[in-house]
Amino acid sequence: MPTADRPATSRGRRIGVAGLCLLPTVLLAAALATRWVDTSRWRLPVLQAAFPIVGVAAVVWALSLAELLRRRIGLALPALVVALVPLTLTASAMGESTVAPSGNDEVVAASNLQFGRAEPGAIVDRIRTLDVDTLVLTEVTPETADAIDAAGASELLPHRVGSPQLGADGTVILSRHSLTKVSAEHVPGLFDQPVATVHAPTGDYVVRAMHPYPPTAKLVRGWHRQLGQAADWVSEQPEQTPLVLAGDFNASQAHPAYRRLAEGMVDAQRATGSGWVRTWPQGSGIPAFVQLDHVLVRHGNVVDAGMSVVPGTDHALVWARLALGD
């Protein structure tokens, strides 16, 4: 009698193990699938922002499952399928598509100052060490703007479009070259996103400072709308004009609304094969896990790009050396 029960017991265990393995696999696959859901409902954009963490968890789980069940092909196959998705997505961020440097390159950088809390001296130090030509500052307050100028920014980047504001509203484009304001009106309650034509010695290019709402519960619809409006704006710009979008996009590659905006443009970090870039949150006790800060270029190529942590703010500064007009 005990012998007869043994196959049934063994079969039951296998079914139980299969069920325990299948459940996390299905949940992870469903979480990965949210990358293709373009919506501002159900707070899904917040989950999408955590996509890199989900991807890492999926890879770890899939590899562990494949090892555990390597002799049972029928059970290892779901693990392989789950692993292929994040591995494929990761591979797209590892490729390199850059051009050789020249004396005509322009360095564009962007930094979110987190309500003006970033250390002014550190910002100016990055301007010097990176040899920045044009800088986008978001969440810049009047007090911090004065401190940055006092630390040397007014001499390095004397031309300005936009204005500091209290709280998170203020955005300023600074440049060593003369600027022509395209748009820089302050709208109370709406993060400023000024646009300027930069008159570089080698030719003009247009810079749009990016700072849409964050996708929080109360602002997520506005976030989605603003990203869509930015995409429409890009499509309306003359194709022959070099165009740069830089700043805190409050969105990552995992957001369909961001990918629509970036379509037809070159993401500087991805062009350099930087892999898993993590600009936020910095210095918060939580390891940075997502790239919200970007430099996008149209009608131009990327020479190099990177990021730099600035004390006092939860966003890393991002920069790109660009060959514009190529």
Same domain, 245 and 169: yes
Same domain, 70 and 116: no
Query: DSSP for 2-64?
Result: HHHHHHHHHHHHHHHHHHHHHHHHHHHHHHHHGGG---SSTTHHHHHHTHHHHHHHHHHHHHH
- Please tell me the total count of domains within the chain: 2
Per-residue pLDDT 10s for the chain (326 aa) are 455 555 656 666 655 555 556 666 666 666 665 666 666 666 676 666 666 656 666 666 666 666 565 555 555 555 555 455 555 555 555 566 899 999 899 999 999 999 999 999 999 999 999 999 999 999 999 999 999 999 999 999 999 999 999 999 999 999 999 999 999 988 888 899 999 999 999 999 999 999 999 998 888 899 999 999 999 999 999 989 999 999 999 999 888 999 999 999 999 999 998 878 999 999 988 889 899 999 999 999 999 999 999 999 999 999 999 999 86
Q: Tell me, yes or no, whether 137 lies in a domain.
A: yes
Same domain, 71 and 112: no
Q: Tell me, yes or no, whether 99 lies in a domain.
A: no
Note down the domain range covering 243. 106-324
Q: Tell me, yes or no, whether 97 lies in a domain.
A: no
Q: Last residue of some domain: 39, 70, 92? A: 92
pLDDT of residue 188: 83
Same domain, 85 and 176: no
pLDDT of residue 89: 53
Same domain, 254 and 170: yes
Same domain, 134 and 87: no
Which residue is associated with the tokens 């962007």?
110
For residue 182, the Cα-to-chain-centroid distance in whole angstroms is 25
pLDDT of residue 211: 98
pLDDT of residue 103: 87
Pairing relationship of beta strands 195-200 and 178-183 according to DSSP bridges: antiparallel
Same domain, 83 and 230: no
Q: Tell me, yes or no, whether 100 lies in a domain.
A: no
Q: Tell me, yes or no, whether 98 lies in a domain.
A: no
Beta sheet of 178-183, edge-to-edge order: 178-183, 195-200, 203-210, 243-248, 293-298, 266-267
Provide the residue type at 266 as one letter.
Answer: V
- 280: Cβ contacts below 8 Å, ≥ 6 apart: 288, 289, 290, 291, 292, 293, 314, 315, 316
Same domain, 129 and 172: yes
Same domain, 279 and 166: yes
Q: Last residue of some domain: 58, 92, 126? A: 92
pLDDT of residue 1: 46
Q: Last residue of some domain: 92, 122, 148? A: 92
Which residue is associated with the tokens 């210095």?
283
CA separation (Å) from 265 to 175, 178, 259, 296?
22, 25, 10, 6
SS3 322: strand
Q: Tell me, yes or no, whether 316 lies in a domain.
A: yes
**Residue 290 per-residue DSSP state:** B
pLDDT of residue 274: 82
Provide the residue type at 132 as one letter.
Answer: V
CATH no. for residue 278? 3.60.10.10
Q: Tell me, yes or no, whether 151 lies in a domain.
A: yes
Same domain, 128 and 213: yes
Q: Tell me, yes or no, whether 101 lies in a domain.
A: no
Same domain, 70 and 215: no
